[in-house]
Amino acid sequence: MSRLAVSMEETRMMNRLKLGRCGLLIATLMVLILSGPVQAYFSYGARSTGMGGAYTAMANDASAVYWNPGNLGFINGWTIEMQIGQDGLFAEDVRDTMEFLRTNTDSSQYDSGEFDDAISDLSGKDWLVRGGDTLSLVIANQYTAFHFTQYNLFYGQPEIIEGSDIFHRYEFSGIEIKEYGVTFTLVGGSSGFSIGVTGKYIDADVYHWSPAFWEIPSTDPGDLYDELEDRGRTASDSSWGLDAGLAMSFGSSRLGFTARNIIGFEIEIDEQTRIEIEPEYRLGYAFQPSDRFVLSMDYSIDKEVDLLGNKLEGSELATGFEAAFGQKHWLLLRGGVSMPMDGDASMIFSVGAGLNFKQGILDVGYAFDQERDSEKLWGGVRFTF
């Protein structure tokens, strides 16, 4: 479409459409908060996702660098772990509407009222599309671990501004976080006690793109995020971070406590919106009556969003299990439920599985909320030496 044609279409829209006033909405992945900080929250790992995020005491693999650095004390030998997580989520019944607005800019559409109906449908949603992916590599043993993790997160919302003229666009915001960390643990010999500390360097970039409805290349989440990155960086920041964890084992039980992002920091996009990385504190308990079954529980304190990035006010209780089958434990099955203790977030259900080979385990984990409007899929592989 030529610039002249686009200009003519914008003029038709301005002259024909009269919608109610709606302030500028800028949203970043996982939460939508106006005139205040938004928290960048992310989950981690295929195994933990399959167990509902009840992993603070359970983590006895390389993902302990995320869930509880103290749990590295329970790893025997060396472990190399690679993880990838991905989601691309649409609010209910909006994908077809977004596709209609992308492909129809002809004035007859506005006369028929279809365009008005489409705008009304989108403007009534808290969010339209969100997603991103995570890639991680961890090398760990009982005393030391090194990790690199990259999180790419984005959020899409319609923007409707009314002034002397009316025009409509999308608002896409995204954040890319690169995290480099080193973990050290102190193991208390036969006492079953260990403490771990992770020092990390966090590099974060924020992206922003405000296209007209017909300017988006497609409604595929991956294409939208690629375009968002290509439009340039809005803000960036870096910081040193610190995580710490404690783990204690006695008999068939294990206790864990972790404090993540003890040193928080924020990135200011504009005067009204900031990305804030805040501390998170978790308590965990795991019970393993045999080498074939484990039951775990996590209590998360003062969370703002849940495992899927939905709004949460207060605390969260997560429960999960893992069961091994076969003579050599070749098949692992997992499940879990995460329940908000305050706020109106939905319950989250999780399932997962693993295939145990001689020196490696292939994991997959899937989580979804009871409304089925948000989901998360993780895959990973672990090698032990």
Tell me whether residue 303 is in a domain: no
Task: Supply the angle between the helices 95-103 and 114-123 in degrees, to the nearest 10.
Answer: 140
Tell me whether residue 127 is in a domain: yes
Name which of 327, 328, 324, 307 is nearest 316 in CA terms: 307
Residue for token pair 């960390």: 181
Q: Three-class SS of residue 329?
A: coil
Is there a contact between 97 and 122 (Cβ–Cβ < 8 Å)?
yes
In the chain, which residue ranges form alpha helices assigned H by DSSP? 3-16, 46-50, 64-67, 95-103, 107-112, 114-123, 221-230
C-alpha Rg value of the chain to the nearest Å: 23
Is there a contact between 305 and 314 (Cβ–Cβ < 8 Å)?
no
Give the DSSP letter string of 27-93.
-BTTB--SSEEEE------HHHHHTTT--TTT--STTHHHH-GGGGGG--S-EEEEEEEEEEEE-TT
Sheet of strand 36-39, all strands in order from the earlier edge strand to the far edge: 36-39, 273-277, 265-268
Strands 193-209 and 129-140, sheet pairing: unpaired
Q: In a structure prediction context, what are the per-residue pLDDT tens digits for the chain, which is 385 residues long?
A: 433 343 434 444 444 333 332 222 223 323 333 333 444 445 689 999 999 999 999 998 999 999 999 999 888 889 999 999 877 777 777 888 888 888 876 544 455 677 777 877 887 777 788 778 889 999 999 899 999 999 888 878 887 665 534 457 888 888 888 999 999 999 876 668 899 999 999 888 888 888 888 888 888 877 888 888 888 777 888 889 999 999 999 889 999 999 988 887 777 766 656 677 778 889 999 999 999 999 999 998 876 665 555 665 667 899 999 999 998 899 999 999 988 877 666 788 999 999 999 889 999 999 987 766 677 889 999 999 8
Name which of 196, 66, 217 is nearest 134 in CA terms: 66
Tell me whether residue 313 is in a domain: no
Tell me whether residue 300 is in a domain: no
Q: Based on the structure, what is the number of domains in the chain?
A: 1
Give the domain extent around 89. 3-281
Predicted pLDDT of residue 210: 84
Tell me whether residue 257 is in a domain: yes
Tell me whether residue 88 is in a domain: yes
The conformation of residue 346, written as its DSSP 8-state character, comes to P
Structure tokens at 53: 């995020």
The pTM of the full predicted model, rounded to 2 decimals, is 0.78
Angle (CA) 278 283 287, round 5°: 150
The most distant pair of C-alpha atoms in the chain lies apart, rounded to whole Å, by: 78
Distance (Å, whole) CA 303 – CA 316: 7
End-to-end CA distance of the chain: 58
Tell me whether residue 98 is in a domain: yes
Tell me whether residue 325 is in a domain: no
Structure tokens at 112: 């028929």
Strands 36-39 and 273-277, sheet pairing: parallel
